[in-house]
Amino acid sequence: MDDKQARIRLAPATEDDVGLVLWFIKQLAEYERAPNQVTATEELLRKNLFGPHPFAHVVLAYVTVDGVEQPAGFALYFYNFSTWVGRPGLYLEDLFVCSELRNLGIGKRLLVHLAQTARERECGRMEWVVLDWNEPSIQFYLSLGAKQMKEWIINRISGPALEHLADL
């Protein structure tokens, strides 16, 4: 397949898509060599993505090849805020395209859509992280103009450490 044979359609996920979103999350975890780390459930995703106070947004990508449309990938993002820029930012939490559908322009279409969304929302920047061993993705992002921020170190507190900190 190539770009000329495939037609790509993007659509915001709805509550009816929760099962598909979870499937993509699990596929991404497999790709990132961490399938046992997924604890998300359809119930949690329904509550946190489509409940009264959604914490994030999901864009689904579909590809039509030879007249048949199929789910191809997704992007999950949310807004943060930069005090230095004084404007919101768009943070891309997850981007995934099914392995057999890569190199059709789906990932690029998702990122272009998010960049357009960031511009419309007057975001000062768009950010995401990539695993250091994921060289194909690193090269892809660099080709689109991304700049690596190697001087920054991600910090995370979760599970019992989060509970402990909250109890101090």
pLDDT of 53-63, one tens digit each? 999 999 999 99
What is the pairing mode between strands 87-97 and 68-82? antiparallel
- For residue 88, what are its two tokens? 């919101």
Q: Which of 31, 77, 91, 141 is catalytic?
A: 141
Q: How far is CA 162 from CA 73, 129, 159, in A?
A: 32, 22, 5
| Average pLDDT score over residue span 66-89 | 97
Q: How confident is the model at residue 5 (pLDDT cuts 50, 70, 90)?
A: low
The C-alpha atoms of residue 58 and residue 145 are separated, in whole angstroms, by 23
- What pLDDT shows up at residue 65? 86
* pTM for this predicted structure: 0.93
- What pLDDT shows up at residue 105? 95
pLDDT of 106-123, one tens digit each? 999 999 999 999 999 999
The C-alpha atoms of residue 139 and residue 108 are separated, in whole angstroms, by 13
The pair phi, psi for residue 103, each rounded to 5°, is: 70, 25
pLDDT of 18-33, one tens digit each? 999 999 999 999 999 9
Examine the residue annotation and report whether 77 is marked as an active-site residue of this protein: no
The pair phi, psi for residue 10, each rounded to 5°, is: -110, 145
The pair phi, psi for residue 96, each rounded to 5°, is: -145, 135
The pair phi, psi for residue 106, each rounded to 5°, is: -70, -50
